[in-house]
Amino acid sequence: MPATKRGTQINENRRRWLGGAGAAATVLTLAPGVRLLDLALARSEEEPVSERVRWGMLVDSTKCAQGCTDCVDACSDEHGLTGMGRPQTDAQYIRKLDLKDKTTGKAYSLPLMCQHCETPPCVDVCPTGASFRRADGIVLVDKHICIGCRYCMMACPYKARSFVHEDLTSQVPETPRGKGTVESCNFCVHRVDRDREPACVEACAQAGHNALVFGDLNDADGALARKLEELPSRQIREDLGLNTGVRYHGV
């Protein structure tokens, strides 16, 4: 089936579905300005991802509400992360951190996930190349060739990765995950490849916080670059020179 024809079909189906269910909330997040790429940059289904794009995110800690876990919940829902009631071994792709400045006592709240480094230590150490960085900057685990050695978990300065400690049966089609392999935030790559935002960003916007901005770091006119220009931001463990794809404002 040609891509264009198929695309139309999807849209027709979406329209039909939305009409029936009247779920307006989802459409709002797809409103103008939130669209990920200009039409000129959008790639067809057969086209591989390229280095022209580098996906990134800005976390505006000043807008991140203490105690709010909408992004975490959305992530769990999106990727089918069901806890086993063992917090030490349950997987977390994204987690909320509560910080308190030891001198001023000022409190901060922010989500932490895979920082999608430009030079990721996890990719350096992985013996099989299962841990890799896609051309568009998304750091992934190819679970087909992950042997579960956990060297990447030792190497990650953000403790962003989890090891699957048990057999799973609750996987969702978009996020295959299984016992004995390592996993982490993948920027919802299945959504990004279909021109949509990661689930956490969508959830944060739905909750009205808008603390997360996702976009193309290479696109000077894009929403993310404009935001980065406007707000001062930093990288966590900037001393390591990893040039992270996730930046933080207000901490």
Partner 1 sequence: MRWCAILLPAMLYAAVAAAEVPVPSPPRGDGAQCVEPTEVMRRDHMKFLMHQRDETMHRGIRTTKHSLVECLSCHTRKDDEGRFVSINAPGEFCQECHAYSGVTMDCFGCHATTPRQPTSRSAQSLGRLLSDTSFRLHIQP
Partner 2 sequence: MEHDTAMTSVRYQTLDGQSVGYWALLALLALLVAVGYAAAHYMEVQGHHVTGMTNQIVWGTPHVFAVFLIVAASGILNVASLSSVFGKYDYKPLARLSALLSMSLLVGGLIVLVLDLGRPDRLIVAMTYYNFKSIFAWNIFLYIGFLLVVAVYLWMMFEPRMNRYSKPAGFTAFIWRFVLTTGTGSIFGFLVARQAYDAAIMAPLFIIMSLSFGTAIFLLVLLASFDWSGRPVGDDILRRLKNLLGIFVAAVLYMTMVYHLTNLYATEHHAVERFLLVDGGVYTLVFWLLQILAGGVVPLVLLFAPQFGQSRASLVTAAVLVIVGGLAQIYVIIIGAQAFPLMMFPGMEVSSTFYDGVVNEYAPSVPEILLGLGGIALSLLVAVVAMRVLPFLPERAGKPTPVSAAEPTPAEAAG
Footprint on this chain of partner 1 (rule: CB under 8 A): 10, 13-14, 16-18, 21, 23, 25-26, 29, 45-49, 77-78, 132, 134-136, 140, 142-144, 167-168, 171-174, 176-181, 189-191, 193-194, 196, 199, 202
Calpha distance 25→206 (Å, rounded): 8
| Chain centroid offset of residue 183 CA | 13
Calpha distance 160→139 (Å, rounded): 11
Token code pair at residue 75: 């992530």
x/- letters, 171..210, toward partner 2 (CB under 8 A): --------xxxx----------------------------
Using CB under 8 A, count the residues that bind partner 2.
57
Binding-site partner at residue 58 among partner 2, partner 1, none, CB < 5 to 8 Å by type: none
Residue 185: which of 138, 247, 134 has the closest Cα? 138
137 vs 233 by CB, closer to partner 1: 137
23 vs 147 by CB, closer to partner 2: 147
Calpha distance 109→112 (Å, rounded): 10
CA distances, 16 to each of 1, 5, 12, 23, 45 (Å): 21, 17, 6, 11, 23
95 vs 190 by CB, closer to partner 1: 190
- Smallest distance, partner 1 to C-beta of residue 124, A: 17
Work out which of 48, 102, 229, 232 binds partner 2, going by CB under 8 A: 102
The DSSP element (H or E) to which 110 belongs, if any, is strand 107-113
How many residues are listed for the chain in this entry? 251
> What one-letter code names the amino acid at 180?
G
Binding-site partner at residue 124 among partner 1, partner 2, none, CB < 5 to 8 Å by type: partner 2
Give me the residues that bind partner 2 (CB under 8 A), please: 84, 86-92, 95-103, 108, 112, 121, 123-130, 145-151, 153-159, 161-167, 179-182, 236-237, 240, 251
